[in-house]
């Protein structure tokens, strides 16, 4: 039987429990009203997978019932689950922990339907804070119903914190220049999502860029004067530029006052007391308008002075600050200025990530979350092997250096082209490692996730997706940067460097492999529950885009060598790109707002036009 995360203690006993038409889900009087949400989730699971529709009642359980109750002797996040021939007992040290027991039973029902094995489970997590960080800024803003689906998946695997990356994609009042060409999240949507998370034992934590990564704010005509580097307004949109350079000018007092105003408006939408000010990748700090101040005080001091003022502001408002740790790790001599009640988010995304930063922060006495990644940025399908190894090594550091939590990140660099479903395996890797400190081997956990989450009886779905992600030869990052650098007039030598980073010579074998994987995917889908087969069309769209762009890479390499059009029809390839985009748009709009879809589309258009112009 598959259980993710794996319980710390589980004993399989003789016998089984047969759910029947008289089985009821009973909420003990010790449970508050919030337990009803978990009862309804369990009811739906039993209805779908066992074909039985149990009633939900409050009071005393009878033989054959499923009882949910609090147990004051258990720790806050600890739970017990007991299945006997006489019924099911689900106990937790809090209503959220009761929800964890329910999640375990839901996973059992998915596999065993109405005939449950007799088991005894005692469980609690290694890390108290186990989160998922989703980028809702750099391309894709999911619709509220789809974000609720993400929360439901988090609840099933016992995650308890969600953060959404916001740079400009919230509808701030009186700031239309910030979001006028986007489809921002509204206060009503965030408050509804906050309620939805709370009911499922998940803390929705506000995350707002307040220092670096303020491209839209600091390139606006109104606020350009607050940007560290001058002349940032009025330039054409660039995916690359959005990732860098737009840092607050700390020498201008109006800068931090504007940021405080934005924080004040944003933080009151959330019931949590935590607030993430981000403050990462402040690349331009001290290089422009604040250079004289940086020369006097030092860039590190400028950085710490600014974030500490925001920490004080938040603490006076009763909030618990959080921030990304990349800059403070470059200035370890200043780490002692970080207050002990501030949480540092220590990120690192390599499958062989070093432990230096984690050790440094621990030795400095800084409270930290480790922050690995779902490894979907700049890919059509997430790189699962990198994500697994990265999450594994970072949660190992969390255990070694007594981190207080784990926040698994799902970034959307250069347009967030990967479909949200492809980040689900990485989300589950994080949930499993953060809960128990260990997980099955890579191939085995992929088999388990395929079966449990995607209802794939063959267990081969994730192995197939892993192979798909390995076939990208003209990387999306370089696809975008080659376009943008060409438009900016970069010299040919610089453009060649970008192009040579790709393994174009392997395109024929990779595209042949993608064709084989298309067939394999359809074979796998025969073993999947029909409710989960939507991932087939999503993957086919990704394969088509990947294969077409691989061929674009081949076409460009021949054009670069003076062999434009040799053996390839540029007009036909342009049509393929546009057909790929048509289906991709359909998939995007099924789960996300318009957001940056047209900016992604413009990349396709540019290459399609280039192909036709080069084939005349």
pLDDT value of position 502: 73
pTM of the predicted protein model: 0.97
Q: What pLDDT sits at residue 565? A: 60
Query: For residue 205, which of 166, 169, 163, 165 has the smallest C-alpha distance?
Result: 163
- Whole-number pLDDT of residue 53: 97
pLDDT above 90 covers a percentage of the chain that reads 94
Residue 308 has a pLDDT of 98
Contact 410, 374 (CB under 8 A): yes
* Topology (CATH level 3) of domain 129-439: TIM Barrel (3.20.20)
pLDDT of the residue at 560: 72
Q: Identify the bridge partners of residue 123 per DSSP, sorted by sequence position.
A: 79
Q: Give the model confidence (pLDDT) of 26-40 as tens digits.
A: 999 999 989 999 999
pLDDT, tens only, 559-602: 776 666 677 899 999 999 999 999 999 999 999 999 999 999 99
The mean per-residue pLDDT over the stretch 118-131 comes to 98
Distances (CA, A) of 556 to 135, 378, 429, 487, 545: 32, 20, 38, 16, 16
* pLDDT tens track for 452-510: 999 999 999 999 999 999 999 999 999 999 999 999 999 988 887 777 667 889 999 99
- Cα–Cα distance, 468 to 614 (Å, whole number): 30
Residues 6+ apart with CB under 8 A from 153: 424, 427, 428, 453
- The predicted pLDDT at position 598 comes to 97
* Span 47-73, average pLDDT: 97
pLDDT recorded at residue 495: 84
Contact 274, 320 (CB under 8 A): yes
Q: Give pLDDT, residue 523.
A: 97
pLDDT tens digits for range 197-209: 999 999 999 999 9
* Closest by Cα among 183, 56, 74, 60 to 588: 183
Who's near 614: CB < 8 A, 6+ residues apart? 555, 559, 564, 565, 570
Sheet holding 9-18, edge to edge: 9-18, 115-123, 79-84, 87-92, 66-70, 24-27, 55-58
9-123 folds as Chitobiase; domain 2 (3.30.379)
The span from the first CA to the last CA of the chain, in angstroms, equals 61
**With bands split at pLDDT 50, 70 and 90, how would you rate the model's confidence at 100?**
very high
pLDDT higher than 80, residue 314:
yes
Per-residue confidence band for 378, with pLDDT thresholds at 50, 70 and 90? very high
Q: Is 31 helix (H, G, I), strand (E, B) or coil?
A: coil
Rounded CA-CA distance 544/525 in Å is: 18
Residue written as token pair 């109750």: 69
Query: What is the model's pLDDT at position 562?
Result: 67
pLDDT band at 427 (very low <50, low <70, confident <90, very high): very high
Q: Which two tokens stand for residue 120?
A: 């005894």
More confident residue, 492 or 278: 278
The three-state secondary structure class of 79 is strand
- Picking from 291, 178, 289, the residue whose alpha carbon sits closest to that of residue 229 is 289
Q: Where are the domains of the chain?
A: 9-123, 129-439, 466-614
Give the span between the Cα atoms of 376 and 468, in whole angstroms: 13
Residue 588 exposed, middle or buried by CB count within 10 Å (0-12, 13-18, 19+): buried
For tokens 């395109």, the residue is 507
Kindly state the tokens that stand for 235. 């330039």
- Structure token pair of residue 322: 């959080």
Q: What are the start-end ranges of the H helices in 561-569?
A: none
520-550: pLDDT as tens digits: 999 999 999 999 999 999 999 999 999 999 9
Note the pLDDT of residue 319.
Answer: 98
* Pair of tokens at residue 56: 């939900």
Average pLDDT (73-97) is 98
Phi, psi of 23 (to 5 degrees): -65, 135
Helices (H), 276-383: 291-297, 299-316, 326-330, 356-363
- Stretch 154-164: mean pLDDT: 98
What DSSP state is assigned to residue 278? -
SS (H, E, C) 341-367: CCEEEEECCCCCCCCHHHHHHHHCCCE
Residue 528 in tokens: 């999947």
């Amino acid at each position: 039987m598959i259980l993710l995360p794996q319980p710390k203690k589980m004993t399989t006993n003789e016998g089984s429990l047969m759910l029947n038409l008289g089985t009821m889900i009973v909420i003990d009087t010790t449970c508050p009203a919030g337990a009803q949400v978990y009862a309804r989730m369990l009811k739906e699971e039993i209805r779908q997978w066992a074909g039985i529709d149990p009633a939900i009642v409050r009071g005393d359980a009878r033989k054959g019932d499923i009882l949910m109750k609090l147990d004051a002797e258990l720790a806050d996040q600890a739970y017990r689950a007991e299945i006997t021939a006489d019924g099911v007992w689900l106990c937790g040290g809090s209503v959220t922990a009761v929800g964890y027991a329910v999640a375990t039973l839901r996973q059992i029902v998915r596999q065993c339907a109405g005939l449950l094995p007799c088991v005894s489970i005692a469980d609690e997590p290694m890390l108290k804070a186990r989160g998922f960080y989703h980028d809702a800024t750099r391309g894709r803003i999911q619709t509220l119903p789809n974000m609720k689906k993400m929360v439901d998946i988090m609840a099933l695997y016992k995650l308890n914190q969600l953060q959404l990356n916001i740079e400009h994609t919230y509808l701030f009042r009186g700031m239309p220049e910030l979001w006028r060409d986007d489809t921002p999240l509204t206060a009503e949507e965030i408050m509804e999502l906050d309620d939805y998370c709370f009911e499922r034992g998940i803390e929705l934590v506000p995350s707002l860029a307040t220092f670096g990564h303020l491209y839209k704010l600091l390139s606006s005509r109104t606020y350009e004067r607050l940007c560290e580097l001058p002349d940032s307004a009025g330039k054409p949109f660039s995916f690359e530029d959005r990732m860098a350079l737009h840092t607050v000018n700390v020498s201008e007092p109006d800068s931090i006052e504007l940021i405080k105003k934005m924080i004040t408006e944003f933080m009151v939408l959330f019931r949590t007391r935590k607030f993430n000010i981000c403050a990462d990748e402040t690349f331009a700090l001290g290089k422009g308008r604040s250079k004289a101040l940086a020369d006097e005080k030092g860039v590190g001091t400028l950085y710490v002075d600014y974030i500490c003022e925001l920490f004080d502001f938040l603490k006076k408002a009763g909030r618990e600050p959080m921030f990304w740790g990349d800059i403070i790790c470059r200035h370890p001599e200043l780490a002692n200025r970080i207050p002990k009640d501030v949480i540092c988010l220590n990120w690192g995304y390599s499958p062989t990530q070093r432990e230096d930063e984690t050790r440094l922060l621990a030795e400095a006495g800084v409270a930290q979350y480790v922050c690995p990644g779902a490894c979907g940025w700049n890919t059509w399908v997430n790189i699962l092997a990198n994500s697994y190894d990265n999450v594994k090594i970072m949660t190992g550091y969390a255990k070694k250096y007594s981190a207080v939590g784990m926040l698994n990140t799902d970034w959307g660099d250069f347009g967030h082209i990967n479909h949200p479903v492809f980040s689900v395996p990485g989300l589950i890797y994080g949930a499993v490692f953060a809960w128990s400190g260990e997980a099955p081997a890579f191939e085995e956990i992929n088999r388990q996730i395929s079966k449990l989450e995607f209802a794939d009886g063959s267990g081969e779905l994730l192995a197939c997706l892993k192979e798909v992600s390995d076939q990208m030869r003209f990387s999306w990052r370089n696809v975008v940067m080659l376009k943008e650098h060409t438009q900016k007039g970069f010299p040919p030598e610089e453009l060649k460097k970008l192009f040579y980073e790709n393994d174009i010579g392997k395109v024929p074998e990779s595209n042949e492999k993608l064709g084989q994987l298309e067939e394999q995917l359809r074979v796998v889908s025969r073993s999947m529950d029909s409710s989960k087969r939507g991932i087939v069309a999503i993957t086919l769209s990704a394969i088509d885009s990947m294969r077409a762009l691989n061929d674009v890479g081949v076409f460009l390499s021949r054009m670069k060598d003076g062999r434009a059009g040799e053996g390839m029809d540029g007009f036909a390839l342009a049509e393929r790109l546009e057909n790929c985009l048509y289906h991709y748009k359909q998939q995007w709009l099924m789960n996300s707002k318009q957001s940056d879809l047209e900016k992604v589309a413009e990349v396709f258009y540019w290459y399609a036009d280039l192909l036709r112009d080069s084939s005349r």
